[in-house]
Amino acid sequence: MKSLVFDTGPLISFSLNNLLSLLKKLKEHYNGDFLISPGIRKESIDNPLNSKRFKLEAIQILKQIKDNVIKIYDYPELKDETLQLLNLANNIFMAHDNYIKVVHYAEIEALTLVLKINADALVIDEFVTRNIIEIPDNLKKRLERKLHTQISVNEKNLSLFSEKVKNVKVIRSVELITIAYELGLLDEYKLVENNPEKNLLEAVLWGAKLNGCSISENEIKEIMGLEGFIL
């Protein structure tokens, strides 16, 4: 199935940066489905609607569902398969002989959905889940820095997890924003008199970073450089 599966973070980031309208335009260019799992709907819409934080963002995301830009995808085995993968992921890294819970249900449910339908990519900004999929050693080093202790790895469980997710492609909201910029979908915001293109791209990339996307300042500079701008 030609599709992208979204985690909560990118949806919130797009909403906080007033960029949710880009999703419809990106979907039209992509010519595929933008999907979320039931757990992501609960995390990005249902829970915030019962609180004050992110309530407005939840309503804006809900509109994307009502407008058929984002679809909710479910299947009978999703919960059981998610719990299996979640248990595996949370039994990889250990500190003082205790396993560390590194991932949560909703994001692993989204990953499980990617595997089930062979989606083109998982759209996720969160550092831990991206790195346990792509570069587990980066996560180990970060845990050691954060916890100030040596982290050991259950190599068998890591191997099993890595084998399951080896074909999963991960992209962040900044990649989608950059694609939108390249497609001219943000041209109406080229309003700054001095270097409008540079100012616009820098603004949306930093907006994503400051609203939850795990991207470093050096990575922003790299993207700017690839687009022909020198900072």
pLDDT in tens, 141-183: 999 999 999 999 999 999 999 999 999 999 999 999 999 999 9
160 shares a domain with 84: yes
85 shares a domain with 65: no
In a domain, 119, yes or no: no
68 shares a domain with 31: yes
161 shares a domain with 87: yes
100 shares a domain with 24: no
Signed CA dihedral, 213, 114, 38, 82: sign only: negative
CA distances in angstroms from 122 to 5, 27, 48, listed in the order given: 5, 15, 22
What predicted TM-score, i.e. pTM, was given to this entire model? Answer: 0.94
CA distances in angstroms from 142 to 91, 100, 164, listed in the order given: 17, 13, 23
In a domain, 114, yes or no: no
Q: How many domains does the chain have?
A: 3
17 shares a domain with 68: yes
- Rounded CA-CA distance 131/134 in Å is 5
- pLDDT the model gives residue 111: 98
**What's the pLDDT tens digit per position in 90-131?**
999 999 999 999 999 999 999 999 999 999 999 999 999 999
Angle between helices 78-89 and 105-117 (to 10 degrees): 120
In a domain, 112, yes or no: no
Q: Counting beta carbons within 10 angstroms of the beta carbon of residue 225, is it exposed (0 to 12), middle (13 to 18) or buried (19 or more)? A: exposed
- Residue numbers of the domain that contains 214: 175-226
